[in-house]
Each structure stands twice: as C-alpha cells, then as structure tokens.
Amino acid sequence: MKAFLTTTLLLLITLSTAFGQLRGRIGNTQAVTNDWRPGFIYIPEFTGGLGLGITDVSYSKDYFGINSTFSYQFMRRIKGGAGIGVELHNDGLLIPVFLDGRFNFPIGKWSPFIGVTGGYAMSPDNFSDQSRIFFNPSAGVRMIYKKNFAYTISLGVLTQAGGAELRSSFLCLKVGAEFKKKQGR
C-alpha cells in the first residue's frame, strides 16, 4: 500500500509540474522566446522609394538611403527608438534624424509588425530652403533567424513637407535586420 501511495504521489507531482508551463508565454524555439524579452536593439535598414503625384520638382522623383535606428524593446510587442540616416534623392542629399516606433504581432518565427517613423530631414547643401519634416507609416514582417537576430522587410508611404515642392510622397520599401543585445549568458 505504501508503494502505491508513493507512486501515485510522485506521479501527481510530476504531472502538475509538467503542465505548469504557460503555453502562451513560451515560444516554440529559444530564438522566439528570447525575441519577446526586453532589451536594446540596433536596426540598420536600406530604404528606397518612388515618388507619387508630382515628381518633376527637386527631391520628389525617387530616393535611396541607409538608416540606423537604436531602439529599446519595452515589452513583447512594443519597440521605440531614435535614428539617423543618409538619403540620396534625385536632386540632392538629405540626412534624416527621426524617432521610430514599432508594434509587433509575435506569432512565431514570422512576425508581422506596423511601424511609424517621423522626424526632420536636413539638407547639407541648402539647410534653410531644402530641409523638411517627414512622416512614414509602414507595415511589414520580421523573420526571426537566430537568438539575437531577425530580418525585416516593410512597405509604407513616406510623406515630406518643406522644400520647393512643399509636400511630396513616396511609396517606400525598407529591408533590414535587427540585432538584439545579448542578455545574461
């Protein structure tokens, strides 16, 4: 009888701890679980776009650039940060300084997100006449590749105000990566 009670007790303890994990809070891989943790993130991105609407004035036909964003992941879904970049437009160079926010929908290795970037793009050639403010909402997807690394791609609309054209818009594509600072071990 003692052996039966001891075996039953051990079985109950084992089963209660085996099913004690929170399934919604543990990713299906270690990389996904680590991606949900707070921490610092560096996001370099290549960006480019084609002008929408009037494109025969300066800085409104097309552009290509590189952006660097330094972010912090506050919780599983929310990231915020600041960045700087270099953009080559059809008639000159702009240096954007911006704030960036992203909201993730963490569903596994492939994770959709929405983001918004806004700031000030400075022209080194003519600071007072060609500098402008901009706003860039976007939607994209992240592929978590390794424990502290993910690829990103997003599509959005960049709208700028200022310069000779007063306002210009672009259909833009961003391709980049996320490097998360290693935590603990």
Give the model's pLDDT for residue 66.
98
Handedness of CA 90, 95, 98, 103 (dihedral sign): positive
The answer to whether residue 63 scores a pLDDT higher than 70 is: yes
Q: What is the pLDDT of residues 92-129, one digit of tens each?
A: 899 999 999 999 988 888 899 999 999 999 999 888 88
Give the model's pLDDT for residue 12.
64
The answer to whether 87 and 121 have CB atoms below 8 angstroms apart is yes
Q: Which of 52-56, 138-142, 180-184 shows the highest mean pLDDT? A: 138-142
Q: Tell me yes or no: is domain 2-180 CATH 2.40.160.20.
A: yes
**What token pair was written down for 83?**
């960045």
More confident residue, 100 or 38: 100
Q: What is the pLDDT of residues 154-181, one digit of tens each?
A: 999 999 998 777 888 999 999 999 998 8
Domain ranges of the chain: 2-180
Give the model's pLDDT for residue 60.
84
Q: Residues, the chain, total?
A: 185
SS3 category, 142? strand
